[in-house]
Every structure is written in structure tokens, then in C-alpha cells.
Amino acid sequence: MRAIRGAAVIALAAGAVLAAPAARSQGTAEHQSFVDGCIQEADVFLRIESCTRVIKGGELTGGALAWAFNNRGLAYEQVKRPERALGDYNTALVLDPNYAVGFNNRGNVRAAMGDLEGAVADHTRAIELDPDYSHAFYNRGADFEELGDAEAALRDYDRALAADPEYTLARVSRAAVNCGLGNIDATVEDQLALLELGHYTPKQMQEYLKDRGFYSSRIDGIFGRGSRAALRRWAEAKCP
């Protein structure tokens, strides 16, 4: 099963933060309104239109123009047009060959289109350009997981969490891989960390374990010794 890729949405914010100031420094008030729409317009189709106006306006060049293509690519992904998204990422990377966010996002769309080797190459390049890029590590881990290389996936999830210890999606994925590999202590540790991070509540975890036959006590929202023992039994059973 494909791992959930949350980085594209996060990368939209990252791209906007990095490139929007340069874009806003140029052009008319109308141009700046389109730049703002390309960043944050809630209606995806209007965001595509705003990005297109920015691209065709002629005010932006180089990295700022690459940013506009990147954001339009993200919007195309949201409306299930991966070929158009891929085309925009390709253009962004011609304009700015050192655009780590662009490589990360192109890797995501390549993975969605079934080109996992291309996805690994793009996510690797993003990491080379930004060695602390937690989302690129997470996404490459997801690539490796789909390719059946659990050990490589685990290494990348480790590196994603080293860069961002509160990256819950990476911790969920690492816990699942550790469980599949039979790493019981590591699985339990990650699940307890997810409880601490508020990814789910103690009551939700108790209900989950009870539904699967690993917890038989009262659902009280207190994750004590009995709940922890049930969590460990669940991990020992390969997390069904």
C-alpha cells in the first residue's frame, strides 16, 4: 500500500515562504494579487489560474518563476492531473536546477505515476541540496517501502525524524516498518511517542487495542501498565 505523502501540501507552504518575497518585490498591484492567489487561494482551480497569470505575466524570472511553476504543479496534483504537474515541475527545475522543493515534489508525482526509481532519484537530489529536508527523507522512505526495501525505508524514516522529531507521519510509517521487521521495542516506543505527540488519545488507543482483542480492561483514557502491556502484545503479534 502506498504510504500517505503529506509533504506536497507542506512543500506548498515551504515554496511560498522561500520564493514569494522575491515574487512580491516585482510588478504591479495586480501582479502581486496573482502571486498571493498562487500561494494561498483556497479554490484550487482559481489557484491554478493565479499561478498561470503569474507565469504568463513576464514579471518573474529564474527562481521566482520556478516557484510559480512549482505551486501550479502542486495545484494540478490536487485536481488529479499528474501529467500537467510533472510538466510544471520539469519546467521549474530547468529554471532553477538547485530547487530542492521542486525535486521533492517531482519525486512525489513520479511515485504516484508508478516511476519509483525516478522518485528515488528526485528525492535523493532534494536531500543532496538540503541535507536536513525531513519531507524528502520521508518521501524517499515511502519510495523504498513500495519497492520492498524495508531496511532502506527505515533508515530514511530515522533520518526524517532526526531532522524533525515531531514529524508524526514519519513516526507512523517507521512504527509500521519496525513492526513488520519484528522490532518490537522500537514499535512500542514510536507508538508511545505518538500518544505523547497527540496523534491519537490514550482512549482511542485503548479502543483500538480492545477491538483487536489485546486489551480487556475498562476504557478510561489512562494509559497505564495494563494498556502498555496490551500495546506490547499487539506489537508482538505484528500489529494486526
Nearest to 206 by CA among 196, 221, 187, 191: 221
Assess whether pLDDT exceeds 60 at residue 239. yes
In a domain, 178, yes or no: no
- The residue type of 166 is E
| Residue 40: domain span | 1-130
Distance, in Å, from the CA atom of 109 to the CA atom of 14, rounded to the nearest integer, reads: 17
Distance, in Å, from the CA atom of 91 to the CA atom of 55, rounded to the nearest integer, reads: 11
Taking the chain, what is the end-to-end CA distance rounded to the nearest angstrom?
15
In a domain, 179, yes or no: no
Task: State the pLDDT at residue 18.
Answer: 33
Assess whether pLDDT exceeds 90 at residue 105. yes
Give the pTM.
Answer: 0.87
CATH classification of the domain holding 25: 1.25.40.10
What does the pLDDT look like over 151-202, one tens digit per residue? 999 999 999 999 999 999 999 999 999 999 999 999 999 999 999 999 999 9
Nearest to 23 by CA among 69, 67, 83: 67
Distance, in Å, from the CA atom of 117 to the CA atom of 135, rounded to the nearest integer, reads: 18
Task: State the pLDDT at residue 16.
Answer: 28
- At residue 40 the predicted structure's pLDDT band, cuts being 50, 70 and 90, is confident
DSSP state of 4: P
The residue assigned the cell 522500537 is: 186
In a domain, 96, yes or no: yes
In a domain, 226, yes or no: no
Assess whether pLDDT exceeds 70 at residue 13. no
Distance, in Å, from the CA atom of 47 to the CA atom of 198, rounded to the nearest integer, reads: 32
In a domain, 151, yes or no: no
Say if residues 237 and 215 touch (Cβ distance below 8 Å).
Answer: no
Q: How many domains does the chain have?
A: 1
Distance, in Å, from the CA atom of 67 to the CA atom of 25, rounded to the nearest integer, reads: 14
Q: What is the CA radius of gyration of the chain?
A: 21
Query: Higher model confidence: residue 105 or residue 34?
Result: 105
In three-state form (DSSP H/G/I as H, E/B as E, the rest C), the secondary structure along 32-47 is: HHHHHHHHHCCCHHHH
In a domain, 171, yes or no: no
In a domain, 229, yes or no: no
Task: State the pLDDT at residue 5.
Answer: 53
Say if residues 100 and 129 touch (Cβ distance below 8 Å).
Answer: yes
The dihedral built from the CA positions of residue 151, 154, 156 and 158, taken in this order, carries a sign that is negative
Mean pLDDT, residues 194-211:
96
Q: What is the percent of the chain with per-residue pLDDT over 70, rounded to a whole number? A: 89
What does the pLDDT look like over 60-93, one tens digit per residue? 999 999 999 999 999 999 999 999 999 999 999 9
In a domain, 10, yes or no: yes
